[in-house]
Structure 1
Amino acid sequence: MERSIETQVSQAVDAWLRWLPRWEPATHRGRVAPCRRCFGSPVLSAAGLGADVPHGVQHGLSTRIKTIVDHAVADYTAQNLPMLQAELDQQAARNRARSYRPAEGLDPEFEGLPLDPDPVPGAPFLFTISGMADEVDAGLPDLPPLSAEAKAALRQEVGLADDYANLVGREVCAILLHHRLRIQSAVSQYVEPQIAAMLEELTRSLDAPFAAPADPPGDADPDPSGGAKPGP
């Protein structure tokens, strides 16, 4: 029996809650560009994960919820949109022909993130993962061209798929509202203490960045002459 959207969302939140205690703040250099999946996401807004929550925490939940929407749209497409389904089948066959697929099989916490770190000015990479994947794609044949009529029909079916995705997305957001309390409770328990500890450590280092350890009482330097000072 197909699970309901409500059941799937509940299970996705459960899986995210099981993962959250393993989350740790990233120590590498942050990215300049915002995540297109998470920035301004209505899913995260419904879940109560605002901009003050680290992106890694947000991404693990938004990816799990996106998978639910994607599966619902895929089922709808297979049943109602034959031309779009045929295009997707051809694209899937083309993808399976690739010998190198670095973006597949990732955990939800890493799915959809850039494959390579941001470049450092003046220090170019010898190679990149995305570059190697592009080289493999370049050797695959292109999909067969479509006629003008087929393109128009395909655009119409894509619009219907988008409308259905928006419908499922609104349903998912309404369901997430019922999970906000336990999501926010978990953030308070596992995320906020780690952020507070980082801020405290940063505050200490900013208050006295070059401070030397204080001498213990009674260890003042003796008189350089080594003896009593002469009287007047």
Structure 2
Amino acid sequence: MERSIETQVSQAVDAWLKWLPRWEPATHRGRVAPCRRCFGSPVLSAAGLGADVPHGVQHGLSTRVKTIVDRAVAEYTARNLPMLQAELDQQAARNQARSYRPAEGLDPEFEGLPMDPDPVPGSPFLFTISGLAEEAAAAVPDLPPLSEEAKSALRQEVRLADDYANMIGREVCTILLHHRLRIQAAVGQYVEPQIAAMLEELTRSLDAPFDPGAEPGLPDL
């Protein structure tokens, strides 16, 4: 039996709550560019995960919810938009022909994130994962060109798919409002104590920058 959107959202939140106790603050250098999936996301606003919540915590939930919307749009497209479905099938076959597909099969916490760290000025990479993926994609022949009439019809179907995605997105956000309390309770239990511990450690290191083991106080005269 096909699961309702409400059931899927509830199960996605359950899966995120099960994962959250394993989350730990990142220790590497932060990225300059914001995540396009999470920045300003209405899904995160509905869930009550504001800008004060670490991005890794946000991303794990937003990716799971995006999967629900993508699945609903895919089903709608398969039933109602034959030209767009044919184009997607061709693109999927082209992608499967690539010899290197590093962005596939990732856990929700990593899906959609950049494959490489931000470059360090003056220290270029010998190679990058994204560069290897682009080389593999370039080796696969392009799809055949479309006529102007086909392009126009395809654009119309894409607009219909976008409208449906927006409708499902609004429904998902409404459902997420009913899960805000348990989402925020989990953040308070598993995330906020770790952030507080990091701030406390930072405060101690600032109080005694040259001797981390020393008690803070005035220097000897």
Q: What is the CA deviation profile of residues 152-179 of structure 1, one whole-angstrom value per residue up to 9, with x for unaligned ones?
A: 1100000000000000000000000000
Tell me the residue number matched to 1:11. 11
Contact 2:204–2:212 under 8 Å retained in 1: no
CA distance in 2, matches of 1:100, 1:35: 24
Alignment of 1:58-73 (within 5 A): 58-73=58-73
Do residues 82 (structure 1) and 113 (structure 2) align?
A: no
Tell me the residue number matched to 1:156. 156
Do residues 140 (structure 1) and 145 (structure 2) align?
A: no
Contact 2:59–2:109 under 8 Å retained in 1: yes
Do residues 47 (structure 1) and 53 (structure 2) align?
A: no
Change (3 A) 1:210 1:67: same
Q: CA RMSD in A?
A: 1.2
User: How many equivalent pairs are there?
Assistant: 215
Change (3 A) 1:142 1:18: same
Secondary structure of the corresponding residue to residue 180 of structure 1: helix
Tell me the residue number matched to 1:121. 121
Tell me the residue number matched to 1:168. 168
Tell me the residue number matched to 1:220. none
CA distance in 2, matches of 1:183, 1:107: 20
CA shift, 1:214, in A, is 6.2
CA distance in 2, matches of 1:94, 1:173: 34
CA distance in 2, matches of 1:195, 1:119: 27
CA distance in 2, matches of 1:139, 1:15: 38
Secondary structure of the corresponding residue to residue 113 of structure 1: coil
Q: What is the CA deviation profile of residues 114-159 of structure 1, one whole-angstrom value per residue up to 9, with x for unaligned ones?
A: 0000000000000000000111111110000000011011000000
Contact 2:56–2:109 under 8 Å retained in 1: yes
Contact 2:208–2:214 under 8 Å retained in 1: no
CA distance in 2, matches of 1:164, 1:212: 57
Instruction: Give the TM-score, by structure 2 length.
Output: 0.96
CA distance in 2, matches of 1:208, 1:214: 6
CA shift, 1:207, in A, is 1.6
Tell me the residue number matched to 1:32. 32
Contact 2:103–2:111 under 8 Å retained in 1: yes
CA distance in 1, matches of 2:147, 2:211: 73
Segments of 4+ moved more than 3 angstroms: 211-215
CA distance in 1, matches of 2:91, 2:179: 36
Identity of aligned residues (%): 88
CA shift, 1:211, in A, is 4.1
Tell me the residue number matched to 1:229. none
Q: What is the CA deviation profile of residues 39-95 of structure 1, one whole-angstrom value per residue up to 9, with x for unaligned ones?
A: 000000000000000000000000000000000000000000000000000000001
CA shift, 1:99, in A, is 1.1
CA shift, 1:210, in A, is 1.7
User: Which has the higher mean CA deviation after the structures are superposed, 53-62 or 203-212?
Assistant: 203-212
CA distance in 2, matches of 1:146, 1:212: 66
Secondary structure of the corresponding residue to residue 31 of structure 1: coil
Do residues 92 (structure 1) and 92 (structure 2) align?
A: yes
CA distance in 1, matches of 2:197, 2:93: 49
Q: Structure 2: which amino acid aligns with 1:197?
A: A
Higher radius of gyration, 1 or 2: 1
Change (3 A) 1:206 1:81: same
Structure 2 residues not aligned, in runs of 5+: 216-221
